[in-house]
Structures are given as structure tokens and as C-alpha cells.
A and B are shown apart, each in its own frame.
Chain A
Amino acid sequence: MPWSILGSLARHHGEAVDPDLFERIKDLLDSVLVVGPWTIVAGLGVLILLMPVSVVVFYLVQRRRHPGPRVPGPD
């Protein structure tokens, strides 16, 4: 019984996207975006990659413009 309650909770739990709800949202996306899955994966992948890379590039530019003591290693 407790497992079935937990299972029912998990099937729709908000922290992990609801599979049925997402299927509908994906249908919506498919109707709006007329491109293949690889194009979307590549686009989102580049976006994910650019986030840390752009911050590191900005940091290096800042360091070049404002030289100071090096940041020490992990505490």
C-alpha cells in the first residue's frame, strides 16, 4: 500500500517531469519546430556548452585587463 501511494506520487511528481504531460508538450514543440531531433539537440547542446565557456572567456579577459593575485586552489 505505501509503495502504491509512493508510486502514484512519483508518476506525476513535479521534480521529475510528468511523462504524459511532457509528451503533449513535445507534440506542441514538434508542431511549432519543423526541424529534426538532431537539430534541436545540436542547438541546445551548443547553448549548454556556451554558458560556462563564455563565463571563462569573460574571466580571462577580466584577468588580462585587471591583473591581480591568482585565485588560490579549492579551499
Chain B
Amino acid sequence: MTTNESQTRGLYQGWYVVAACLFIALVTVGARQTFGVFVKPMSDDLGWDRTTISLAVSLGLLVNGLTQPFMGYLFDRMGARIIIASLIVVGLATVSLAFTFHILFLAFMFGVVVSTGLSGSGLTNTAALLSKWFRSKRATVVGINSAGVSVGGLILVPFAAYLIEATSWRVTWVVLGLIILVLSVPFALLFLRDSPNKLGQRLGGKPGQPPGGAGGVVPQPSGPLETDQWKQPFQSPPFWQMSAAFFACGATTMVIAIHFVAYAEEEVGASPIMAAWIFSFMMLLNVAGSIGAGILGDRFRRKNVLAAVYLIRGCAYVVLLATSSTFGLWAFAAMAGVSWIATGPLTMSLTADVYGVRALGTISGITFVFHQVGGASAVLLAGALRDATGSYTLPFAIVGSLLFLAALAAFTIKEERYSIRYQARPAAAAGD
């Protein structure tokens, strides 16, 4: 058996990269989501009020959004090393939260250090890495990676809550940090590699000779907008179409994350227990939605699936406002749940298809800023309109209507013209 044959018969190395990225998303974002369960014990122990301790989360939100393009830029220059370095920083900073004694310590460690580290090991960078390993299954693997965020929340939030109950919040921060340092860092060191080319494997792991394996460089197809300059996409429509749609995505998910339970209780009359069940149901569906959208995105035109996802979420808002009943809440939860993070894998894989992978970390980071700005501005708008009108109807109608514009923006992307998927491929490079 030759070396090349043995490589193609074993499992493609890219799937180990997927597993490592999934676990990184699970433990890091999960650890971030657990902050909410620390609020009460830390407040009680340190004598802080809820608003004071929440400032650390606010700062973290801001820092995480703003540092994303910068960390994406570093990823484009340094590759997987920046993900591993960020993991170590997040792990050490998480352990150090056990020694919190002052609000400024918490604000700096969680709001600045952890949040900056999470930008480095976050979904935009791991999705950019996975895009270098896969092309035909690109949306599927990014969808699996994104699902790690939801799974992480489902596992680590109750884990942290019960560990606090059994021990203390200080011990729990140490355990969460050690999970990152002891499990995810070695896992990442073992499997995270920049591209299949460096291992002599073909993109996607299809049988055949690896690039350069026959002594020559196999010509790779490239799209008309492919670039290694992060500013270049600003001059082309797909970037603005995807970013504008992602703005609507951020607006509609964050508004629901913050105001859904209040709406369900105050305007529909759902009991607190019922509201909690419905919200949990919606979060559970994230996993299926993210992976399902990825699979569909690889099977059909990504822009059409992306448009469909925005359309489904837009219809969910219509149902929510039109029914104002418990049934409406459940129907909304089902439709919004499957579309909640499904936009991420589709947007990131489409960005990779159109602009290539050389500046993908930076470009995806900038797109993510649109998502965060959309979310923050919509939450503030919704709160202000709720206070002014005494109802969530108007703010939900406004942000919900953005989804139909987002669907239109996604649907009108000229994917066939710009995406690598539809470019003529040299025969030797058409394995994936």
C-alpha cells in the first residue's frame, strides 16, 4: 500500500478538525453562557447588586464584537495557532475568575481578557479554518461547529449550576477553566492543522493525488471575487447583502433572547413555567436547525437556503403577532428555533465560497460586527418602544419585517456568478 492510498483509506483528517472545533465551541461558548448562573451567588457573596455584576457581561459583549475582526486578521496571518493561543488565554482567565475580589477585576478578566480570547477561538475563526478543509461539505461542517454553541449551553449551564450548588462559585470557575485547559487545549494541539495541503491530503479528503503530490502544483479554481485583501469585499454587492441580512439576524435573535419571556408572560398570559419550557424548546431546536441548514446548504444553492431561513423566521414573527396565544408561542418557538443559528453556517460558508479563505477570518469578523450592532440596536429600540407604547407589538413588527428584507437580500445574491461552487474547475482539482 502506498502512502497516498493509506491516507485516503483512513478517515479524512478534516473530520478530526471538525471534532476539535466542535469541542472548542462547546466548552468555550458554554463557559461564557454559564455566567448567568454565577450572577446570584457572586452578587450575594461579594455584596454587589445585579446591575454592577452585569456590567462585566456588557463590556464582554462590546469587546467580543469589536475584537472579532482583529482576531480574524490574526487568524488569517497565523492560522490555527491563534485559536490554540486564545484557548489557553480563555482557560487561564476563567480559572482566575475564582479569585474575583473587586468588580474591576471581574470587568477586566471576563469583560476584556475572556471576551478577547473568545474572539480568537470563536466560531468565525474556527469556521474559517474548517473552510480550508472542506468545500463540498463546507456548510455542513460549519453547521456542526455552530451547533456546538447550543450543545455547550445545554451541557455546561446545568453542569455549572449544580456544581455551584454542590460546592461554590469559586470552585466552579476553576473547574470550567480546567476543562478548557486540560481537555480542549491538548485536543486542539493534537488535531488542529491549517490545511490539508500541509498533510499532503486533498481538500475534502477525496481519493486521488494530493496537491503537489505528483511533483507539480495542481491548479486550484478561484472565484472572480476571491481575495487576500480584507478591504476588497467592501466594493462588491455580496458582502453588503450578507452583512445587511446578518444585521437583521442579530436584531431578531437578540430581541427574542431578551424580551421573549416578558412578552409571553405579560402579553400572552403564559405562566412563568410555560414560558421557560417554550424558551428551552426553542433552544433545543437550534442544534437541528444549524446542522440541517448546513446539509441543505451543501445540497442546494446556499443563498436560497439562507433566504428560506430568514423567511421562516419572518413567518414566525407573523405567527407570534397574529395569534397572541400559547399555541402561537409554541409555533413561534418551533419556527424560530430551527432558524435561530442556521444563518451562521450558511453566511460563513457562502462568504468563503465568494471571497475565498485567505482573508476569511477578517471578512467574517467584520460581518459578525454587523450582527452584534443589529442585536444591540434592536434590543434598545424594542425596550424604548415597549415603554412608549406599552406593548411589544410595534417593536416585534419592526424587527420581524427586517427578516423579509433579509430574505430578499440573500435571495438576490448572484451566487452562480461569484461562488467558487459554480466556477469551471480544472479536471485535476475537481475532487472535492
Contacts and interface: CB of A to CB of B under 8 A. Distances in A.
B166 A16 contact: no
Contacts of B163: 37, 41
23 contacts: A4-B51, A9-B58, A11-B51, A13-B58, A13-B257, A13-B258, A17-B153, A21-B279, A22-B157, A25-B279, A48-B27, A48-B159, A52-B183, A52-B187, A55-B20, A65-B10, A66-B7, A66-B9, A71-B199, A72-B199, A74-B193, A75-B194, A75-B198
B213 to A, nearest CB: 12
Nearest to A24: B276
Contacts of B84: 74
Interface in B242-274: 253-254, 256-259, 261, 272-273
Given A37-B166, A67-B6, A68-B7, A15 B276 contact: no
Interface string A1-20: 00111111111111111110
B162 A56 contact: no
Nearest to B54: A10
Interface stretch (B87-95, B292-300, B376-384, B390-398): B376-384
Question: Which range holds the interface residue count of chain A?
Answer: 35 or more
A12 B58 contact: no
B258 A17 contact: no
A13 B277 contact: no
Interface stretch (B32-40, B312-320, B328-336, B400-408): B32-40
A34 interface: no
Nearest to B11: A62
A75 B191 CA distance: 11
B6 A68 contact: yes
A14 B383 contact: no
Interface in A28-63: 28-29, 36-38, 40-41, 44-45, 47-49, 51-52, 55-56, 58-59, 62-63
* Majority secondary structure, B binding face: helix
A9 B57 CA distance: 9
Given A12-B257, A63-B10, 19 more contacts: A6-B62, A9-B380, A10-B57, A10-B61, A13-B254, A16-B33, A16-B35, A17-B34, A19-B39, A21-B279, A37-B162, A44-B162, A52-B184, A66-B6, A68-B3, A68-B7, A68-B10, A75-B79, A75-B80
B104 interface: no
Contacts of B379: 9
Nearest to B84: A74
Interface in B187-216: 187, 189-194, 198-200
Given A6-B58, A37-B162, A74-B84, A51 B189 contact: no
Interface of B: 3, 6-7, 9-11, 13, 16, 19-20, 23, 26-27, 32-37, 39-40, 50-52, 54-59, 61-62, 79-81, 84, 153, 155-159, 161-163, 165-166, 179, 183-184, 186-187, 189-194, 198-200, 253-254, 256-259, 261, 272-273, 275-277, 279-280, 376, 379-380, 383
Contacts of A47: 155
Contact of A48 (B183, B189, B275): B183
Contacts of A17: 33-37, 153, 157
A74 B192 contact: yes
Contact of A22 (B36, B54, B194): B36
Given A19-B39, A48-B179, A3 B258 contact: no
A44 B155 contact: yes
Contacts of B9: 66
Given A52-B23, A66-B6, A21 B61 contact: no
A75 B158 contact: no
